[in-house]
Structure 1
Amino acid sequence: MSNSENKAGSYAIVGFGKIGQALAKAFARKGIEVSVATTRDPKSFASDAAAIGPGIIPTTLAEAVKADVIFLAVRFESHPDVAKALPSWQGKTIVDVTNAYGVPPEKMGGLPSARFVAQAFTCGKLVKGFNHLIAAILEQDPAVHGGKRVVFLASDDDGAATEIGALAENLGFAPVKLGKLSEGGLLVQARGNSWGQLIFQDLVKFD
């Protein structure tokens, strides 16, 4: 058992492209340890992880999915491959950071993209979030002009949305809950050739 598994509330980011690295920078900024994984050998991105900070731990996909909270920062098409890493996602919270831009709605059975993703993660709790900003903005310090950068969260599980809202606050963001995946989730999703109304809206909340 590594230290990270013993800690209450462990975090992992699956996918280490621009968005995965932007998320890792948010964790590093606050000194919160997070595992990062891709389908590749961890050695192949260890130096990129080390460059972000000592608490960014390169690991295998099989190790990463032991975390309590898993950020899904892969290409939308790759989410079923990640979902296969565990037979059941019971007790796990998955934060869906994917965008299904260019994926025809009929390929998703007409479902909102996050609900389609949720189907792959059997028994897991899915929260759509952190996906509406481009990596270049997401990776910046969320403290802006005396306010906090907003991240939108949508989930069919209120407890999971609250859990990720608390994490977002710990990371310095201002979480705004949008309700269920088929309601607020539509405002922050991409599918086919359309973007939800809140995608790319870089908003700052002042207390």
Structure 2
Amino acid sequence: MSYAIIGFGKIGQALARAFARRGIEVSVATTRDPESFASAAAAIGPEIIPKKLAEAVKADIVFLAVGYKSHQDVAKALSTWQGKTIVDVTNAYGVPLEELGGQPSSRVVAQAFTGGRLVKGFNHLGAAVLEQDPAVHGGRRVVFLASDDDGAAEEIGALAESLGFAPIKLGGLSEGGLLVQGRGNSWGQLIFKDLVKFD
């Protein structure tokens, strides 16, 4: 299984740290030349591999950690996303609801990634929290996942576990997705809720 993070701002780097902590290799890419962020990637760890966008999107699982409005540019990197799982880490806060057609933002994102399986996840925590070790006081930091594809949710749940998090599945995008999204001028009820699960 191969992994990529598209977007290398604060959230992208926080996700990269989660992979590096577990010694799991992950490609990172932006629309810029890989050399422009190679030193930042190297500072996180040898597992973080800077690549061109066209190379990074060949991964099996792609984390979309760009600004919401950039998701369409990333989607155009492949003609089909068949066989790939996309983890939507974006928030459409400030995007007018009319632009979303009244849908959850993650459903709009899913439509752009033709043929791919989309899971909303890892977006409810700020970068400063997301980048910390998820082992907290003997428990594990929770990440919420929502998807209309149960198999994809299982797959990302297993990855979240291997990264040290406690995944909690919230159901489909229309129910669970609304709880963990920013859209328009409101935040879902679970955004910024930093919860810890004790087994």
Specify the TM-score bucket, using the shorter chain as the normaliser.
over 0.9
Partner of 2:63: 71
Q: Structure 1: how far apart are the matches of 2:42 and 2:86?
A: 24
1:26 partnered with 2:1: no
Correspondent of 1:103 among 87, 95, 99: 95
Runs of 4+ in structure 1 deviating by more than 3 angstroms, as ranges, are: none
Q: 1:127 aligns with which of 86, 94, 119?
A: 119
Task: Select 1:146's aligned residue among 127, 138, 154.
Answer: 138
Distance in 2 separating the partners of 1:71 and 1:50:
19
Aligned residue in 1 for 2:155: 163
1:40 counterpart = 2:29: no
Q: What's the secondary structure of 1:183's corresponding residue?
A: helix
2:180 alignment counterpart: 188
Match of 1:5 in 2: none
Gap runs ≥5 in structure 1 = 1-8
Percent identity between matched residues is 83
Residue 57 of structure 1 and its aligned partner are, at CA, apart by 0.0
1:177 Cα offset (Å): 0.1
Deviation at 1:110, TM superposition (A): 1.1
Give the TM-score of the pair, scaled to structure 2.
1.00
Per-residue deviation, residues 52-71 of structure 1 (Å, max 9, x unmatched): 00000000000000000000
Q: Which amino acid aligns with 2:66?
A: V
TM-aligned CA deviation for residue 109 of structure 1: 1.1
The answer for unaligned runs of 5 or more in structure 2 is: none
Alignment partners' CA distance in 2, 1:109 and 1:60 = 32
